[in-house]
Amino acid sequence: MYRKLLTIILIVFLIFSVIQAAPLVKQDKLTNIDEGDDDDDDDPIDGNDDIESKEQEYESKGFWQSFEVESKGKLTVESRVFEEDHDNTTEDIGLGLYSRLELKITNGPLAMEFRGVSRVNEYDQSRNIIYIEEAWLGVDFFIFNLRAGYQLFNWTATEAFHPADILNSRNFDSNIENFEKLGEPTISLITNIKSAEFSLYYMPTYQVPFFQGPSSRLAIFKPPAGSKGGSFLMVDKNGNISDDDFGDQFAFRYKQSIAGLDLGIHGVYHTTRDQILIAVNPLTNTISPIFQRVVRAGGTLQWALDGLISKAEVGYSKFDKLKNSVTAKYKTPNETGLVDLEATKDHTTIALGFEYGWDVFRGGQLTALLEGQHLVGLSKFQRANLSAFQSDVLIGVRLALNDISDKTLLISSIIDTERKKEFLLNLSYSQRLNDTWSISLGARRVIAPQKGTTPIGLEILDEANQYYINLTRSF
């Protein structure tokens, strides 16, 4: 309870501090010239003329009259059809409306941003969702940027495998190789010095991921017959299992760009939502996802050289041990029971990728894609049980015509190099129809027959073959 109160007080304090400090920060921005690169896009001041013009603007308008507001959004009619699976409990047809609204408000060093998403499905009500991607208040002061609220993070360099992109929760009702991200409640402090960026993050709570209902063909979490889904649980810093959704989490990231080389290094201590334990309560016959505490370190690398782009992502995970080692007790307001659990084994995930492009047609580009991912430090069974892409290779080709309609065709295949007969095939095409309308369509095929008594990894989605077409209006 005290953490919730502390978080509320901290956010309120930040808001009032920003409001009180804004005129001073504004004046500081107007009276200090960045001595760095004059061509730096991040430099808000460029010479005495700009200072004088901004002073005149500020004096003529005043603080409260200087706000600038930008908004945009899109509405998408989504339709998809799955091949028949002869299961009356699942829904093979999907027709829904996806919407995204974005709002930006700026005033000198002050900034606010909101981006929200909703999806309503006619045939499968379990797909209905409303979530926030971004909703934060920020202020620039000296060489720092301070933000508080829901934020999205992009810590990735590769196309399909993302062992370093770990901060945000996901919407699991989306493509398995690129799940949609949910905004994470975060307080961030960022500073830029020349080509380097250093960031600190504090997360007082965590965003619960969105799981599909059992009627979805893409459901990755289905309670067995006769059981029911329980509440979300977490492992706290003492190794106990709890239903508390508050817990201190910390992260840092360092980014550096040097002569075509982009490097990122991070360290995180948080409640993970991408590697989940499953708890079985024998007294209530409920099955609950358990989010573990984990220390993570890793980074990203991207290097462009003569048309070849080399990419790499690395992530090491060290999980907190559960109390009493293998067996842990948990007690929540509605559940009491004994659960046999064992923390996920520490391991490292490595992803490598390459892109090479050729100029084709009139301004178009043909790009060959090659990527691979492997989990190190686990047995073959442990790897397959932990990730659908535990030892996989992606081979693909993308054709972008770069014309007025922005026509793009992508063909790719993800192949398991360790387990037989596991493939994910993808074909997609998109283009603009005019200034406001665009269309995308494609097909996906999953081949991963079950090899044991219980499906694991990509086997959960075996034969979830689908065809889709989306029509989008942007505004």
- Contact yes or no for 394/412 (Cβ under 8 A): yes
| Residue pLDDT, tens place only, 380-433 | 999 999 999 999 999 999 999 999 999 999 999 999 999 999 999 999 999 999
| Residue pLDDT, tens place only, 160-213 | 999 999 999 999 989 999 999 999 999 999 999 888 999 999 999 989 999 888
Q: Identify the H or E element spanning 73.
A: strand 68-82
| Confidence (pTM) | 0.83
| Residue pLDDT, tens place only, 320-371 | 988 743 345 555 444 445 456 788 999 999 999 999 999 998 889 999 999 9
Per-residue DSSP letter, 298:
E
Domain 67-474 superfamily per CATH: Porin (2.40.160.10)
pLDDT for res 57 = 56
Find the distance separating the first CA and the last CA of the chain, reported in whole Å.
42
Per-residue DSSP letter, 194:
T
Residues 6+ apart with CB under 8 A from 5: none
Relative to beta strand 228-229, strand 293-305 is: unpaired
Instruction: Summarize the chain as % helix, strand, coil (round to 5).
Output: 10, 50, 35
- The SS3 of residue 196 is strand
Q: Among candidates 375, 373, 324, 372, which has minimal Cα distance to 345?
A: 375
- The SS3 of residue 461 is helix
Residues 6+ apart with CB under 8 A from 293: 234, 235, 236, 237, 247, 269, 270, 271, 272, 319, 320
Residues of each domain in the chain carrying CATH 2.40.160.10: 67-474
Q: At what angle do helices 48-61 and 2-31 cross, to 10 degrees?
A: 120
